[in-house]
């Protein structure tokens, strides 16, 4: 009897094992059905080779072909090499600003060249798209993040090549997947211009495609560097399909300091609700602060009043301090709304700076204290972003001074001092928090023969009275300009 039961049990187990094995095969078939890889490119920072951009029609086709071949060559050394996988490419960029930067660097002759390149790149292959996201740095960033999350969730996507190592803003999304074996297998960082140190420490594979993308920033860009940072890993994949000619070589002339495109974060200020019956943010903060206190005596009750303030009903021991009804009316001042930052350009699309007065270096008593504080922090200097813009994106990692306390008078001196410097981004700068100058601050009446604004990489940055007339105004948070 026991032998018969064991035989039946074994048959049942074998049948269940066959069913499970079949289900496993079905799941594997679903997972491996229609596999593909994707290349995500932040086109604002990862730029194609100069030679490809300068011949927008055939250059776009070459760029697409080289990019596809580079990815196929990389996959040959992986388990995916035996399968001819579709390669999807998505390039996200603000075409207008990208074209302007390339034009100022003498890479292309007109903005039409960039638009033609984008169109031809998109039309070169059905699975390739060069997408114009419009004005605003966050547009390309947002697309990159959304698409990265989308493809990472899709198990049919076997590899994600991520070209955004120039921008520290992507580190947060990538750090979430450090330690995940599946993500480590699927995510490949694509380095164009030198990667920020934080990307190197993530542990993901990193490759370069030097036959497709520039390896150096544009001359009109500036990149912040920091001492004592780990050097980028030397174990990167770099395949060369063709011998790079001088035309394809990238930059014209020696590389110059680069600049990561940096847009200030929008400053959103909440205002009190009107006609909704809900307390204003200021009132909410007051109530929150009151609720966090743990008094030893009975707490007061709070209610809104009809005169624009609030009423606080105190316990009987405090009744004498209030009116006969036991209430006191307290008026809460509404939070002030900060005006959004703006940038004005003349008809030639040259940025116009607001006038600034010399704070009087000789007679201003703050000059001596400012100089003493500046001497104390040498060889470093005061951070313009921290003291003038109110926020530095680098925080504790910034190599400029944040710790010294400056008086309003000293800040005014530092602001004027900053305005005597030429902005590395030049007259096309679109950084709302930029505290440097984009033309001579003495325009239109500069009489200094040795003025530093006379011979810049952008030419003579002196503007006439006519040039100082604003034609357009861009407002932070708004995607289209106002014509003046």
What's the pLDDT tens digit per position in 168-196? 889 989 999 998 999 999 999 999 999 98
Q: What is the mean pLDDT of residues 297-307?
A: 44
Task: Look at residue 8 in the predicted model and tell me its pLDDT.
Answer: 75
Query: pLDDT class for 33, splitting at 50, 70, 90?
Result: low
The lowest-confidence range among 4-18, 308-322, 358-372, 459-473 is 308-322
Q: What is the mean pLDDT of residues 258-275?
A: 36
Task: Look at residue 1 in the predicted model and tell me its pLDDT.
Answer: 55
Residue 19 phi, psi (nearest 5): -65, -45
Task: Look at residue 152 in the predicted model and tell me its pLDDT.
Answer: 94
pLDDT of residue 133 exceeding 60, the answer is yes
- Region of 112 on the Ramachandran plot (φ > 0 left; ψ -120 to 50 alpha; else beta): alpha
Could you tell me the two tokens for 143?
Answer: 């697309």
Task: Look at residue 276 in the predicted model and tell me its pLDDT.
Answer: 35
Task: Look at residue 411 in the predicted model and tell me its pLDDT.
Answer: 93
**Percent residues over pLDDT 70 in the chain:** 72
pLDDT of residue 219 exceeding 50, the answer is yes
Query: pLDDT class for 261, splitting at 50, 70, 90?
Result: very low
- Region of 292 on the Ramachandran plot (φ > 0 left; ψ -120 to 50 alpha; else beta): alpha
Q: Which of the pair, 402 or 363, is modelled with greater confidence?
A: 402
Residue closest to 138 by CA, chosen among 472, 482, 476? 476
**Percent residues over pLDDT 90 in the chain:** 45
Contacts of 280 (CB under 8 A, 6+ apart): 271, 272, 273, 332, 334, 335
Task: Look at residue 177 in the predicted model and tell me its pLDDT.
Answer: 94
Task: Look at residue 165 in the predicted model and tell me its pLDDT.
Answer: 93
pLDDT of residue 158 exceeding 60, the answer is yes
The lowest-confidence range among 82-96, 114-128, 234-248, 470-484 is 234-248
Query: pLDDT class for 4, splitting at 50, 70, 90?
Result: confident
| Mean pLDDT computed over every residue of the chain | 77
Q: What is the mean pLDDT of residues 30-40?
A: 82
Q: What is the mean pLDDT of residues 429-447?
A: 92
* Number of Cβ within a 10 Å radius of residue 308: 11
CA distance 157 to 35: 6
Q: Which of the pair, 74 or 301, is modelled with greater confidence?
A: 74
Q: Which of the pair, 434 or 135, is modelled with greater confidence?
A: 434
Q: Which of the pair, 111 or 274, is modelled with greater confidence?
A: 111
Q: DSSP 3-state assignment of 257?
A: coil
* Number of Cβ within a 10 Å radius of residue 192: 24
Task: Look at residue 375 in the predicted model and tell me its pLDDT.
Answer: 93
CA distance 89 to 243: 24
Task: Look at residue 251 in the predicted model and tell me its pLDDT.
Answer: 37
Peptide bond preceding 50 in cis form (omega within 30 of 0): no
pLDDT of residue 331 exceeding 50, the answer is yes
User: Using the 8-state DSSP alphabet, how is residue 46 labeled?
Assistant: S
Query: pLDDT class for 5, splitting at 50, 70, 90?
Result: confident
Task: Look at residue 314 in the predicted model and tell me its pLDDT.
Answer: 47
Q: What is the mean pLDDT of residues 410-421?
A: 93
Residue closest to 157 by CA, chosen among 274, 40, 281, 3? 40
Q: Which of the pair, 377 or 303, is modelled with greater confidence?
A: 377
Q: What's the whole-model pTM score?
A: 0.47
Task: Look at residue 395 in the predicted model and tell me its pLDDT.
Answer: 84
CA distance 226 to 247: 32
The model's pLDDT over 89-126, given as tens digits with 9 standing for 90+, comes to 999 999 988 998 898 888 999 889 999 999 999 999 99
Task: Look at residue 20 in the predicted model and tell me its pLDDT.
Answer: 78
CA distance 204 to 184: 6
Residue length, the chain?
484
Q: Which of the pair, 267 or 376, is modelled with greater confidence?
A: 376
Task: Look at residue 28 in the predicted model and tell me its pLDDT.
Answer: 61
Query: pLDDT class for 27, splitting at 50, 70, 90?
Result: low
User: Using the 8-state DSSP alphabet, how is residue 301 labeled?
Assistant: E
434 and 384 Cβ atoms separated by less than 8 Å: no
Q: DSSP 3-state assignment of 461?
A: coil
Query: pLDDT class for 275, splitting at 50, 70, 90?
Result: very low
pLDDT of residue 231 exceeding 70, the answer is no
Task: Look at residue 305 in the predicted model and tell me its pLDDT.
Answer: 39
Residue closest to 115 by CA, chosen among 136, 140, 135, 93? 93
Task: Look at residue 169 in the predicted model and tell me its pLDDT.
Answer: 86
């Amino acid at each position: 009897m026991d032998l018969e039961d064991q035989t039946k049990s074994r048959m049942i187990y074998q049948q269940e094992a066959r069913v499970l094995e079949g289900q496993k095969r079905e799941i594997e078939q679903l997972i491996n059905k229609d596999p593909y890889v994707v290349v995500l490119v932040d086109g604002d920072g990862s730029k194609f080779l100069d030679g490809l951009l300068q011949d927008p029609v055939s250059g776009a086709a070459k760029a697409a072909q080289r990019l596809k071949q580079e990815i196929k060559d990389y996959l040959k050394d992986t388990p995916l090499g035996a399968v001819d996988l579709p390669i999807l490419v998505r390039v996200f960029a603000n075409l207008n600003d990208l074209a302007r930067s390339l034009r100022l660097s003498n890479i292309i002759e007109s903005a039409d060249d960039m638009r033609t390149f984008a169109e031809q790149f998109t039309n070169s292959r059905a699975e390739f798209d060069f997408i114009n996201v419009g004005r605003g740095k966050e547009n390309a960033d947002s697309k990159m993040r959304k698409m990265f999350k989308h493809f990472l969730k899709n198990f049919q996507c076997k590899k994600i090549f991520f070209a955004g190592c120039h921008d520290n803003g992507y580190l947060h999304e990538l750090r979430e997947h450090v330690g995940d074996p599946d993500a480590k297998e699927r995510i490949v960082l694509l380095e164009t211009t030198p990667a920020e140190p934080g990307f190197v420490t993530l542990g993901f594979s990193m490759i370069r495609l030097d036959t497709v993308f520039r390896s150096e920033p544009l001359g009109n860009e500036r990149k912040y560097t920091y001492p004592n940072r780990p050097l980028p890993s030397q174990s990167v994949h770099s395949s060369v399909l063709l011998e790079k000619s001088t035309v394809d070589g990238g930059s014209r002339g020696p590389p110059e300091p680069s600049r990561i495109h940096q847009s200030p974060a929008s400053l959103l200020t909440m205002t009190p609700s009107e006609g909704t019956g809900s307390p204003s943010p200021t009132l909410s903060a007051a109530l929150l602060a009151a609720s966090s206190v743990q008094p030893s005596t009975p707490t007061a009750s709070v209610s809104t009043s009809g005169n624009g303030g609030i009423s606080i009903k105190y316990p009987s021991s405090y009744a004498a301090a209030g009116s006969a009804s036991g209430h006191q009316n307290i008026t809460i001042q509404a939070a002030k709304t900060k005006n959004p930052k703006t940038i004005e350009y003349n008809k030639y699309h040259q940025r116009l700076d607001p006038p600034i007065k010399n704070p009087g270096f000789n007679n201003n008593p703050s000059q001596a204290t400012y100089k003493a504080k500046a001497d104390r922090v040498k060889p470093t200097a005061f951070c313009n972003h921290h003291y003038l813009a109110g926020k530095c994106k680098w925080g504790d990692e910034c190599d400029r001074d944040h710790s010294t306390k400056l008086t309003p008078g000293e800040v005014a001196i530092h602001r004027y001092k900053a305005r005597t410097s030429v902005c590395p981004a030049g007259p096309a700068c679109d950084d709302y928090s930029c505290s440097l100058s984009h033309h001579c601050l003495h325009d239109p009446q500069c009489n200094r023969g040795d003025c530093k604004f006379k011979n810049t990489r952008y030419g003579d940055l002196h503007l006439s009275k006519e040039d100082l007339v604003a034609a357009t105004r861009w407002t932070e948070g708004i995607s289209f300009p106002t014509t003046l």
